[in-house]
A and B are shown apart, each in its own frame.
Chain A
Amino acid sequence: MAAKRTEPAVETVTVKVDGCAVEVPRTMPNWQGKPEPTTVLQACKQAGIEIPHYCYHPKMPVAGNCRMCLVHVAMPGRPGPDGKAPTNEDGSPKVFPMQLPYEPGTPRGVIGCATGIVPGMEIYASSPETKEMRKAVLESLLINHPLDCPICDQAGECKLQEYSVDHGQPESRFAEVKVHKPKAVDLGPRITLDAERCMLCTRCIRFTASVVGDDALGIVNRGSYNAISSYPGQPFDNNYTLNTVDICPVGALTSDDFRFQMRVWFLKETKSLCTGCGTGCNTVIGSRENRMYRYEPRQNDAVNSCWMCDAGRLDYKWIGRDDRLGKLHGPRGNTTWPSALREISGHLAKAAEGSVAIVASARQTNEELFLLNKLAKRYKALTDSVPRNGEADHLLVAGDRNPNTTGAQLIGVTTQRVGSKLSAIVKGIVSGKIMTLIVYGEDVTQHGIDAKLLGKLKMLIVSDILPNATTRKADYLLPGCSHAEKRGTFTNVKGRVQKFTKALEPSGDAMPEWEVLHELVHNVTGLDGFNSIEGLFNQMADEVKAFKAAGLTWASLGDNGADVKL
């Protein structure tokens, strides 16, 4: 068998899962990405069989304490003195189902998360023996569980509920008094702990110690009275605490922000991105009836693994703020989109080259910046954006607090030194050369173009989401959309282009900026773009050098995005 090999050969091992032979790699990356022997759990996953588990998490060190992933296996026999492995009568290698020492005949399980596979091993992932083990573990987990699902925020996405239905037994034989532990403990400023619900899988402890590097949580007491705790008087407070809520398989750790806000089964989940900084963590928005309730990280190993920071996670409240700009304003008061667009287009059509300047925002999408740049080219306009910098940390937070600075640079709206051309714009306004200023999503009065200066302009067109000093001076105020209310793409600090989708309907007159800009660009330049975000993106990908080099298309971005060379 001379098979052609195009890739370096991966050493494989063949094991049987539920009677079917499966070839799996001998080693697989562990939580740190280092190769380690493939485990039973991973092998089963490759075979398409999910082994239930609580304490195991692919991005954390293995603990092996929940015992939920127990499976019954059979090992191939060791070679005898003659060097030959024992065989069945038909010559096939003989395997020995694992059994208890001292009690031959009673099957013994191994934990799937930590047991490496051995060639010829047979894994009985759904045998009666395995099922019995799962039942036993689930019964143990439930005897002291308070069963307060009706008030538990985790209900509906709780692994204990799910596995109980899939693998548990309908009734418990427990006839004693339950162990009571502290409830509604304030673990930190953003987290509430219910120790009774906790199943002590230690995921939270391992996460904060190994991934974040803040060894703030531990287990106190002993045996059945064990409980998770932070040190008394030292609240659990780092920028990644809320991830413990995600990884908690039960409702022991709940987010104060989401606590008792909405049952999860009502929430519509929409794939989105965090706009808190240039990292662009992949998220899921949970919303119901046009109200956003929470952000959750979405796994993307190229960007944020399974995590996101607390600051980013709680950075969504502004989307539903009461003072959101909802009315389209023209110089003569409220107006409608058709007339506003007609008037603005009419004004711009008369504008001379060099008399227009654009301040864009690095919080806008690639598509919007691309369209703005088209406008800018038509007028040879000065364009720039506004920098926003903070401190980077060791895990996810980037120093650049704008979600799309890289996009703005690649598209050409701004240079490497973001904000360096703002002074030239100021000069232009002072000298009277610049008569029309288009501002997108920034309060320019905070960045050197003060209200008095804005008064000198003949025309100030502002698009924003929330009111500020600039919006108050606007001749035309175009209410825009937050990223949760439209579609588009961002390019993160490392050059990964990622898309986000629409979770909410914009309120009032607000319209996605790209739709407005698309119309304007068409009216002013005559260029006929595409009236769908897909088409617009593909056109942009064809024109922007870096995007073209990476061969991007809307479809090829997928859910996890694609890299461009910086």
Chain B
Amino acid sequence: MKVKRTELTWWERLYLPTLINGFKVTLRHFFSWKRSEVYGDKQKEFTAKTTMQYPEEKWDVPTGYRGAPYLVKDVDEKTKCVSCQLCEFICPPKAIRITPPGDSGVVDREGAEKMPEEFEINMLRCIYCGFCQEVCPEEAIFLLEDYAINGETREELIYNKGKLLALGGADKRAYNHHVQCDVDEGIKKWETKTREAGEQPAFH
């Protein structure tokens, strides 16, 4: 089907009116007394200014913001990811690449069986959709608050396991989630399991 475009008048083709309209909006904001809600506390002391001195000033990231995906650690500062590769599978732009550990399991704690040998996220590819966070059965990957991802080379922007874990850290959000759901035992899943197994009555 062909859609017929409407012809622009010469006045419209001049683009000046549109330009002026744009400036009008800018100026209205410039002289506005109303503070933007987006910048919240950062601007408490100012009365009129709505422009922020980025990057010296940073805004408060609202809850639910989907920033860069990082790997988080558990309360014992140990890796949570078990290399199930579901995020790799679900990732629409194929930004995630996991190297499974092989028979050795590459584990950093007793009771665990499997962790990734390598975990890479290509931040250039990532579209911040949050599927990885949603699909993760271990709650090991979260879209945290980082939004300014930059680097000088493409290689630099492929984050590896070490970097992702360091950036994710023992994340409060992951921890809070467990506490909110009243499963504080869950964050010590391996410990709980080992304890239960020890308490089990032997047969006979």
Q: Are A262 and B203 in contact (CB under 8 A)?
A: no
Query: Which residues of chain B in 27-81 are interfacial with respect to chain A, using CB atoms and an 8 Å cutoff?
Result: none
Q: Are B200 and A179 in contact (CB under 8 A)?
A: yes
Closest to B198 in A: A180
Main SS class of interface, B: loop
Q: Are B113 and A184 in contact (CB under 8 A)?
A: yes
| Alpha-carbon gap, A223 to B203, bound state (A) | 9
Q: How far is the CB of B61 from chain A (nearest CB, A)?
A: 29
| Alpha-carbon gap, A262 to B138, bound state (A) | 18
Q: Cβ of A472 < 8 Å from any Cβ of B?
A: no
Q: Cβ of A260 < 8 Å from any Cβ of B?
A: yes
Q: How far is the CB of A183 from chain B (nearest CB, A)?
A: 7
- The residue in A149, A184, A223, A263 that gathers the most chain B C-beta atoms within 10 A of its C-beta is A263
Q: Are B84 and A259 in contact (CB under 8 A)?
A: no
Q: Are B103 and A151 in contact (CB under 8 A)?
A: no
| Alpha-carbon gap, A260 to B200, bound state (A) | 29
| Alpha-carbon gap, A193 to B203, bound state (A) | 20
Q: Are B203 and A151 in contact (CB under 8 A)?
A: no
Q: Cβ of A88 < 8 Å from any Cβ of B?
A: no
Query: Which residues of chain B in 63-107 are interfacial with respect to chain A, using CB atoms and an 8 Å cutoff?
Result: 82-86, 89, 100-105
Find chain B residues with CB under 8 A from A178 CB. 196
Q: Are B200 and A151 in contact (CB under 8 A)?
A: no
Q: How far is the CB of B101 from chain A (nearest CB, A)?
A: 5
Find chain B residues with CB under 8 A from A184 CB. 113
Closest to B112 in A: A151
Q: Cβ of A256 < 8 Å from any Cβ of B?
A: yes
Query: Which residues of chain B in 152-204 are interfacial with respect to chain A, using CB atoms and an 8 Å cutoff?
Result: 193, 196-197, 199-200, 203
Q: Are B100 and A260 in contact (CB under 8 A)?
A: yes
Closest to B104 in A: A260
Q: Given A221-B203, A263-B85, A265-B89 in contact, is the A150-B137 Cβ separation under 8 Å? A: yes
Find chain B residues with CB under 8 A from A260 CB. 83, 100-105, 114
Closest to B111 in A: A183
Closest to A257 in B: B103
Q: How far is the CB of A552 from chain B (nearest CB, A)?
A: 41
Q: How far is the CB of A226 from chain B (nearest CB, A)?
A: 9
Q: Are B82 and A151 in contact (CB under 8 A)?
A: yes
Closest to A227 in B: B203
Closest to B98 in A: A263
Find chain B residues with CB under 8 A from A222 CB. 203
Contact of B113 among A149, A183, A223 (CB under 8 A): A183
Find chain B residues with CB under 8 A from A225 CB. 203
Q: Are B100 and A151 in contact (CB under 8 A)?
A: no
Q: How far is the CB of A27 from chain B (nearest CB, A)?
A: 43
Q: Cβ of A266 < 8 Å from any Cβ of B?
A: yes
Find chain A residues with CB under 8 A from B102 CB. 259-261
Find chain A residues with CB under 8 A from B104 CB. 260
Q: Interface size for chain B: under 10, 10 to 19, 20 to 34, or 35 or more residues? A: 20 to 34
| Alpha-carbon gap, A177 to B196, bound state (A) | 7
Contact of B89 among A179, A180, A183, A266 (CB under 8 A): A266
CB < 8 Å A-B pair total? 53
Q: Are A180 and B197 in contact (CB under 8 A)?
A: yes
Closest to B86 in A: A150
| Alpha-carbon gap, A527 to B21, bound state (A) | 79
Q: Given A150-B137, A260-B102 in contact, is the A180-B193 Cβ separation under 8 Å? A: yes
Q: Are A259 and B203 in contact (CB under 8 A)?
A: no
Q: How far is the CB of A241 from chain B (nearest CB, A)?
A: 16
Find chain A residues with CB under 8 A from B203 CB. 221-223, 225
Q: Are A151 and B114 in contact (CB under 8 A)?
A: yes
Find chain A residues with CB under 8 A from B86 CB. 150
Q: How far is the CB of B78 from chain A (nearest CB, A)?
A: 15
| Alpha-carbon gap, A180 to B199, bound state (A) | 10
Q: Given A179-B200, A180-B196, A263-B89 in contact, is the A150-B100 Cβ separation under 8 Å? A: no
| Alpha-carbon gap, A151 to B105, bound state (A) | 10
Find chain B residues with CB under 8 A from A256 CB. 103
Query: Which residues of chain A in 120-178 are interfacial with respect to chain B, using CB atoms and an 8 Å cutoff?
Result: 148-151, 155, 177-178
Closest to A184 in B: B113
Q: How far is the CB of B120 from chain A (nearest CB, A)?
A: 14
Q: Are B114 and A263 in contact (CB under 8 A)?
A: no
| Alpha-carbon gap, A261 to B105, bound state (A) | 10
Find chain B residues with CB under 8 A from A183 CB. 113
| Alpha-carbon gap, A263 to B100, bound state (A) | 9
| Alpha-carbon gap, A149 to B86, bound state (A) | 11
Find chain A residues with CB under 8 A from B138 CB. 150
Q: Given A149-B137, A151-B82, A151-B84 in contact, is the A259-B103 Cβ separation under 8 Å? A: yes
Q: How far is the CB of B98 from chain A (nearest CB, A)?
A: 9
Closest to B114 in A: A151
| Alpha-carbon gap, A150 to B84, bound state (A) | 5
Q: How far is the CB of B173 from chain A (nearest CB, A)?
A: 20
Closest to B106 in A: A260
- The residue in B101, B113, B138 that gathers the most chain A C-beta atoms within 10 A of its C-beta is B113
| Alpha-carbon gap, A178 to B200, bound state (A) | 9
Query: Which residues of chain A in 216-238 are interfacial with respect to chain B, using CB atoms and an 8 Å cutoff?
Result: 221-223, 225
Q: Are B103 and A266 in contact (CB under 8 A)?
A: no
Find chain A residues with CB under 8 A from B83 CB. 151, 260
Closest to A221 in B: B203
Q: How far is the CB of A500 from chain B (nearest CB, A)?
A: 27
| Alpha-carbon gap, A367 to B29, bound state (A) | 79
Find chain B residues with CB under 8 A from A151 CB. 82-84, 113-114
Q: How far is the CB of A405 from chain B (nearest CB, A)?
A: 35
Q: How far is the CB of A257 from chain B (nearest CB, A)?
A: 8
Closest to B81 in A: A150
| Alpha-carbon gap, A222 to B202, bound state (A) | 11
| Alpha-carbon gap, A88 to B89, bound state (A) | 57
Q: How far is the CB of B84 from chain A (nearest CB, A)?
A: 4
Q: How far is the CB of A177 from chain B (nearest CB, A)?
A: 5
Contact of B85 among A148, A180, A221, A266 (CB under 8 A): A266
Find chain A residues with CB under 8 A from B193 CB. 180
Q: How far is the CB of A291 from chain B (nearest CB, A)?
A: 12
Closest to A254 in B: B103
| Alpha-carbon gap, A155 to B84, bound state (A) | 9
Q: How far is the CB of B119 from chain A (nearest CB, A)?
A: 14
Q: Are B113 and A263 in contact (CB under 8 A)?
A: no
Closest 5 pairs (CB-CB, A-B) = A180-B197, A150-B84, A151-B114, A225-B203, A263-B85
* Given A179-B200, A180-B197, A260-B100, 5 additional A-B pairs, CB 8 A: A150-B82, A177-B200, A180-B193, A260-B101, A262-B85
Give chain B's interface residues, CB within 8 Å of chain A.
82-86, 89, 100-105, 113-114, 137-138, 193, 196-197, 199-200, 203
- Provide 26 A-B residue pairs closer than 8 Å at the C-beta atoms, listed in order of the A residue: A149-B84, A151-B83, A151-B84, A151-B113, A151-B114, A177-B196, A177-B199, A177-B200, A178-B196, A180-B193, A180-B197, A183-B113, A184-B113, A222-B203, A223-B203, A225-B203, A259-B103, A260-B103, A260-B114, A261-B102, A261-B103, A262-B85, A263-B85, A265-B89, A266-B85, A266-B89
